[in-house]
Amino acid sequence: MNNEAKRNLSDVESQVKILVEDLKSDSADTQRNATAELRLLAKYDMDNRIVIENCGAIGLLVNLLYSNDPETQENAVTALLNLSINNNKNKSAIVDAGAIEPLISILKNGGSEAKANSAATLYSLSLLEENKIKIGRSGAVQPLVDLLGNGTPRGKKDAITALFNLSIHHENKARIVQYGAVRYLIELMDPAVGMVDKAVAVLTNLATIPEGRNAIGEEGGIPLLVEVVELGSAKEKENAAAALLRLSTNSGRFCNMVLQEGVVPPLVALSQSGTPRTREKAQALLSYLRNQRHENF
């Protein structure tokens, strides 16, 4: 680091120390301004994020998640989101400071921007494996599913990203299904909404458990997954083929529904022209469907 960069960092440190004192102030205005400044400082600069954590801001920002001032609360959420990005030490510090519970409270009761940023923060924190478990067990799934169904477009996007990450951990899958996410995920498979990739990815994870497969079949997911095999991007096609394989191999009824939707021609095309992984999934599903048809006749 050159001298000028060191000087700049030293200036930032002096500034952050003052802002940290301001976070402790009894004045709502002072707290609001300090959270806004820290939110900006943490936004673009990795070094700033380290300085802010070193100066002891994280615990104070977590306390301000309980603020009665909506602007201070939103600034605190967003500052913590920014501090967590690409920094595993900060992710751990945020969770250790007790952030999960107030973040979930904001998901339930905050303004639309604060809700979306709370979901985005939970997503960022859940990139650490142990946090997937903590967040799932702390009651985050239900408000995330509510945001998925009823949030702003931005809120839905942040909710689905968080739910995708949580759905990677097995014990969270049943919770996500139980709170009714599958219906909303299927609604988000409308290409006009722009979230097909994420919706299919979550459904593919949920298709690994019986409750998930039943919900996908009952809520009308099969025709839409077949459509994705035909018209989706390479990654969407791979995930949709994987989900349909799980549905077909575990239920004769769903297998017949998959066949009735005319999946074979797009699968044949996919088995010849997709990526190696996609071809493998398509060939496995084709082979299974052919065997089923022979057994049925």
CA 239 from chain center: how many Å? 17
Q: What share of the chain is helix, strand, coil (3-state, %, to 5)?
A: 85, 0, 15
**Interatomic CA distance for residues 27 and 18, integer angstroms:** 14
Which residue pairs from 282-290 have beta carbons closer than 8 angstroms and sit at least 24 positions apart in sequence? Answer: 282/229, 282/237, 282/241, 284/245, 285/241, 285/244, 285/245, 285/248, 288/245, 288/248, 288/249, 288/255, 289/248, 289/255, 289/258, 289/259, 289/263, 289/264
Q: Output the CA–CA distances (angstroms, integers) from residue 290 to 237, 245, 268, 295, in the order listed.
A: 20, 13, 12, 9
Which run of H or of E encompasses 184?
A: helix 181-187
pLDDT at 92: 95
- Alpha-carbon distance of 229 to 113, in angstroms, equals 34
Task: Give the model confidence (pLDDT) of 181-205 as tens digits.
Answer: 999 999 999 988 899 999 999 999 9
Written as one letter, the residue type at 225 is L
What are the angstrom distances between the C-alpha of 71 and each of 59, 78, 154, 195? Answer: 18, 11, 18, 29
Closest CA to 143 of 128, 163, 161: 163
pLDDT beneath 50: ranges in the chain:
297
Which among 247, 196, 252 is positioned nearest to 217, based on CA atoms?
247
For the record, the structure tokens of 11 come out as: 């200036």
- Tokens 């004045």 correspond to 27
Whole-number pLDDT of residue 274? 79
94-125 per-position pLDDT tens digit: 999 999 999 999 999 999 999 999 999 999 99
CB 200, CB 228: distance < 8 Å: yes
pLDDT of residue 297: 39
pLDDT averaged over every residue in the chain: 93
